[in-house]
A and B are shown apart, each in its own frame.
Chain A
Amino acid sequence: DVKVTQSSRYLVKRTGEKVFLECVQDMDHENMFWYRQDPGLGLRLIYFSYDVKMKEKGDIPEGYSVSREKKERFSLILESASTNQTSMYLCASSSPGVRGPLNVYNEQFFGPGTRLTVL
């Protein structure tokens, strides 16, 4: 089974702190994603990486950066945390190849999420 792990389930930080959220996947997936989830807004993509050291901005990249130095690890960085970044952060990974008898493309596997509170 694919396993996506995130470094913390809950995190409390202060305004202005630099925050690192870590995500690790164990299935050799090329693609990795960072989303944030807020009530009434669903999941919004922050950044996407399709290979080591490669990244692409999602819908809401402002205030965030990412790092992918190794294939299995994708980090989300809040350079200077602000209260409006209080949210649930979800990491996911996928392989661009086709899986299974129904030819499923790019099934994303999600981690359990990190609930970040910025005070």
Chain B
Amino acid sequence: LAKTTQPISMDSYEGQEVNITCSHNNIATNDYITWYQQFPSQGPRFIIQGYKTKVTNEVASLFIPADRKSSTLSLPRVSLSDTAVYYCLVGDIRYSSASKIIFGSGTRLSIRP
């Protein structure tokens, strides 16, 4: 199972683009990369998932280089409401198993006015 490393915390300002990088040096061939967002006093919610190159949805973009040893979650023009903890998960989640589900400590993103 690929271990992930993320920054503990990040700060930014409203209107800026924020990039959060996750390192996963021993990612396996069948592993997918999934990001979740958690607001205070709420459960996490899914943001985006990808396998390679770039994935974009209405919330964020996910950039995955060719070697897949890292990934970057990009949040365009953040607002105060993007203040949250962001988790990067790496694993072969096509076939559910407890051994493939590790959230880790996440990155605490603080957005200032």
- Residues on A facing B (Cβ under 8 Å): 4, 30-31, 33, 35, 40-45, 47-48, 50, 56-59, 90, 92, 94, 96, 102, 104-113
Contact = CB atoms under 8 A, between A and B. Distances in A.
Contacts of B95: 96
B101 A41 contact: no
A113 B103 contact: no
A96 B103 CA distance: 18
Given A58-B98, A102-B49, A105-B93, A43 B87 contact: yes
A48 to B, nearest CB: 4
Nearest to B104: A42
Interface residues on B, range: 20 to 34
A59 B102 contact: yes
B101 A33 contact: yes
B41 interface: yes
Given A42-B104, A90-B43, A107 B49 contact: yes
Nearest to B56: A102
B13 interface: no
Contacts of B106: 42
A113 B94 contact: no
B77 interface: no
Contacts of A31: 96
B45 interface: yes
Contacts of B93: 105-106
B52 to A, nearest CB: 12
B46 A92 contact: no
A47 B97 CA distance: 10
B94 A105 contact: yes
A56 B98 contact: yes
